[in-house]
Amino acid sequence: MSYNQNLVKSRESDKMKAIIREILWTILLALIIFGALQVTVQSFRVEGSSMEPSLHTGQYLMVNKVVYRFHPPQRGEVIVFHPPINPSRDYIKRVIAVPGETVEVRAGGVYIDGIPLDEPYLGEPTNYTFSHQEVPPDNYFVLGDNRNHSSDSHIWGAVPRHNIVGKAWFCYWPVWEWGSAPNYSP
């Protein structure tokens, strides 16, 4: 074999090593990005009418899974969680009361520590009552925006903090609903 043939083989070998190295780096980078996304965000499909008129069946949302590592859930935020009655499922509701607050539903409205809650996101007044109750430490009282057709804290109680998956962040489907999730700051 001549010197030129050895040189050509060496260059081909170097090119092949560079291509393999580039493929491995691309795969590694894709795995790192995939892992980071799995830890920080989750896709969620809205099912049922409990959050109407704010959210509708078939909408897809991105849920921020890390936001509550930096601060606790706040009143008005829409959260995804595992309900105490069925921890294998994901539910979506609005935080109404935080730990230590008292909540009551009467006369078509919600009262927090005796003060009526401003809820511009509701479609109709609430037609049930819920007796004065204090939210336990590290728990959150959640209700659907479609109060009269929602399985929520007024039925099965407060949601423990460790059951919360994350905060609804962004609606990405259908396209005409594209935009920020309907979180509300009172």
Task: Give the catalytic positions in this structure.
Answer: 50, 93
- CA–CA dist 79, 55 (Å, integer): 12
AA identity, residue 168: A
User: Are the C-beta atoms of residues 91 and 47 closer than 8 Å to each other?
Assistant: no
Closest by CA to 64, choosing from 154, 146, 169, is 169
3-state secondary structure at position 24: helix
**Strand arrangement, sheet containing 102-106:** 115-116, 109-112, 102-106, 130-134
CA angle 148, 153, 157 (to 5 degrees): 145
AA identity, residue 63: V
